[in-house]
Amino acid sequence: MKRPILIHPDPRLKQVAKPVPDLSDELRRLAADMLETMYDAPGIGLAAPQIGVDTRLIVLDCVKEEGAAPRPLAMFNPEILASSDETSTYEEGCLSIPDQYADVTRPAEVTVRWIDPEGRERTEDMAGLWATCVQHEIDHLQGKLFIDYLKPLKRQLITRKMVKLKRERARG
């Protein structure tokens, strides 16, 4: 089932999400809903707080090549174990901040550990867009948005645009 995506500013996007103590069918359904919502948007990642769920769960699929097989990942309790000194800059977007993009510099490679939907612990080295996206999604679990990396003036400008967008959407 597709879920509505919260738009910034919203206090639920600023909270630190809670760890998952045990996997359940309900949490596996939540992961499936998040993947459906992400593909429909369309996006390459989504974090549970973006649909108003206060849980450390992210989904991503950064396969961009036309015709390539999708690689949906659902990560419960994801953690960055190591980050490279080398950085990369990518023009990021966010489904909670529609149509706004800005350059963000982050570690180019990260080692990530998480629990998969079958309850297995997994660890993977990620680079390129996968590394950028997984860091962006884990930031969401800490209540951090990509605009928090920008200068205050640019952040305020984007926030004002989002307030206006939400007002227009509420009017219908």
Contact positions toward Zn ion, by CB under 5 A? Answer: 94
What's the half-sphere exposure (Cβ side, CA atoms, 13 Å) at 97?
23
Q: How many residues bind ligand K1U (CB under 6 A)?
A: 16
Q: What phi and psi values does residue 98 have, to the nearest 5 degrees?
A: -60, 140
Closest CA relative to residue 144, chosen from 91, 104, 117: 104
How many whole angstroms from its chain centre is CA 105? 16
Smallest gap from Cβ 22 to Zn ion, in A, equals 27
Q: Which entry of 26, 92, 121, 137 is annotated as an active-site residue?
A: 137
Closest CA relative to residue 110, chosen from 133, 93, 89: 133
Smallest gap from Cβ 151 to ligand K1U, in A, equals 19
Among 76, 90, 114, 130, binds ligand K1U (CB under 6 A): 90
Residue 96 as a binder of ligand K1U (CB under 6 A): the answer is: yes
Judged by beta carbon distances under 5 to 8 A according to partner kind, the member of ligand K1U, Zn ion, none in contact with residue 77 is none
Contacts to ligand K1U from residues 27-46, by CB under 6 A: 42-46
Smallest gap from Cβ 93 to Zn ion, in A, equals 8
137: annotated active-site residue: yes
For residue 151, what are its two tokens? 């200068």
Contacts to ligand K1U from residues 125-164, by CB under 6 A: 132-133, 136-137
Concatenated DSSP letters for 80-126? EEEE-SSEEEEEEEETTEEEEEEEEEEESEEEEEEE-TTS-EEEEEE
For the annotated catalytic residues, the residue numbers are 137
Residues near ligand K1U, by CB under 6 A: 42-47, 90, 92-96, 132-133, 136-137
